[in-house]
């Protein structure tokens, strides 16, 4: 290679090394990963659990007759049905468990009559009526108060409040799924990291120590610290990409199918 081409290449590498540091990779990548991780953690915290409702039913309801036991279990079945209907709108793992609404009947979450009533409640937009079973559960709580199975209005208020909070948690995770991170923000973060990486391919070149415009005195064959920086940046961007949709089928996504199975097992607790 002629010396003129070598000097031109060295000058270009020096240019990339100097101006490549002006790429705001720390700023853009830091904010992007922070938003994605915070959003991922908030979605997990907003996943509602039916345990408090089950515990309150065992504490506030009176009697051990078959009717009271069936009412308690029906309330928990409706709560779990509402959870399944909500996650079916956004989670592919849940869709594998329940490929259609009729599979809810075979799983014991709903009867044919209840499924028909659910269809009639929202004939054009079923996804919007995931909370319909929660209303059925609150109706049963009111009915148990009228029958004397619940001995105070305060207990009814607490049970209805817990069911409403359960529905609120479902609404929160649905809102996260409905309003995602702006695509242009993700594109800017990815473009920033890849642009910095491409410029670094030239900036991290070790040049002629005798004639280099950079005045290098040490000539290494492998840019060790440059590779470490590359692994750190690419690792962080891959972490953000894997956490951006926690309701998918990847290994690191939320195990919604296991959560559903766990809730259904709790529905048959002997205390209920």
Over residues 67-88, the pLDDT tens digits come to 999 999 999 999 999 999 999 8
Asked if residue 86 and residue 8 are part of one domain, the reply reads no
Residues 212 and 142 in one domain: no
Choose the weakest-confidence range: 74-78, 168-172, 230-234.
Answer: 230-234
Q: Is the pLDDT of residue 48 over 70?
A: yes
Q: Please report which confidence band the pLDDT of residue 266 belongs to, taking 50, 70 and 90 as the band edges.
A: low
In this prediction, residue 28 carries a pLDDT of 86
Is residue 193, in this structure, part of any structural domain at all? Answer: yes
For residue 249, being part of any structural domain is answered with no
Same domain, yes or no, for 39 and 136? Answer: no
163 with 212, same domain: the answer is no
Indicate if the alpha-carbon torsion angle 16, 21, 22, 25 is positive or negative.
Answer: positive
In this structure, the answer to whether residues 146 and 196 fall within a common structural domain is no
**Mean pLDDT confidence for 222-228:** 76
Q: Do 22 and 75 lie in a common domain? A: no
Do 77 and 92 fall into the same domain?
yes
What is the residue range of 96's domain?
48-179+255-267
Pair (58, 133) in one structural domain: yes
Q: Confirm whether 153 is domain-assigned.
A: yes
What pLDDT is stored for residue 117 in this prediction? 85
For residue 199, give every residue at least 6 positions away whose Cβ sits within 8 Å of its Cβ, in sequence order, or none.
Answer: 16, 19, 20, 23
Shared domain check, 260 and 219: no
Number of domains in the chain: 2
Q: How confident is the model at residue 215 (pLDDT cuts 50, 70, 90)?
A: very low
**Under 8 Å between Cβ of 92 and 245:** no
The pTM score is 0.81
Q: Are residues 129 and 175 in the same domain?
A: yes
Average pLDDT over every residue of 249-271: 79
> Is the pLDDT confidence value at 260 over 60?
yes
272: pLDDT strictly greater than 80: no
Q: What is the residue-wise DSSP string for 24-73?
A: -HHHHHHHHHHHHHHHHHHHHHT---SHHHHHHHHHHB----HHHHHHHH
| pLDDT band (50, 70, 90) for residue 226 | confident
Per-residue confidence (pLDDT) for residue 220, from 0 to 100:
58
In a domain, 223, yes or no: yes
Calculate what percentage of the chain has a pLDDT beyond 70.
84
Tell me what the pLDDT averaged over the chain comes to: 83
Q: Would you say residue 250 lies in a domain? A: no
Decide: 78 and 117 in contact? Cβ < 8 Å: no
Residue 6 above 80 pLDDT? Answer: no
Higher-pLDDT residue of 118 and 147 is 147
* Residue 17 covered by a domain: yes
What pLDDT band is residue 225 in, cutting at 50, 70 and 90?
A: confident
Residues 160 and 80 in one domain: yes
């Amino acid at each position: 290679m002629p010396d003129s081409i070598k000097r031109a290449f060295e000058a270009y590498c020096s240019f990339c090394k100097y101006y490549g540091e002006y790429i705001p990779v720390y700023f853009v990548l830091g904010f992007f990963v922070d938003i994605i991780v915070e959003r991922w953690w908030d979605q997990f915290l907003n996943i509602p659990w039916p345990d408090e409702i089950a515990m309150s039913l065992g504490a506030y309801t009176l009697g051990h007759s078959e009717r009271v036991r069936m009412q308690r279990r029906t309330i928990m079945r409706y709560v779990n049905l509402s959870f399944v209907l909500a996650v079916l709108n956004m989670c592919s793992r849940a869709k594998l468990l329940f490929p259609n609404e009729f599979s809810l009947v075979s799983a014991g979450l709903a009867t044919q009559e209840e499924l028909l009533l659910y269809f009639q409640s929202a004939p054009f937009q079923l996804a919007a009526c995931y909370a319909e079973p929660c209303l059925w559960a609150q109706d049963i709580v009111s009915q148990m108060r009228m029958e004397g199975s619940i001995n105070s209005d305060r207990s009814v208020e607490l049970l209805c409040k817990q069911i409403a909070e359960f529905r609120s948690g479902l609404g929160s995770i649905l809102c996260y799924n409905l309003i995602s991170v702006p695509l242009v923000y993700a594109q800017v973060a990815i473009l920033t990291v890849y642009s910095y990486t491409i410029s670094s391919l030239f900036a991290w070149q070790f040049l002629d120590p005798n004639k280099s415009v950079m005045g290098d005195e040490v000539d290494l064959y492998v840019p060790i610290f440059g590779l470490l920086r590359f692994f750190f940046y690419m690792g962080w961007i891959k972490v953000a990409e894997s956490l951006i949709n926690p309701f998918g089928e990847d290994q690191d996504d939320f195990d919604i199918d296991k959560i559903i199975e766990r809730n259904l097992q709790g529905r048959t607790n002997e205390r209920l």
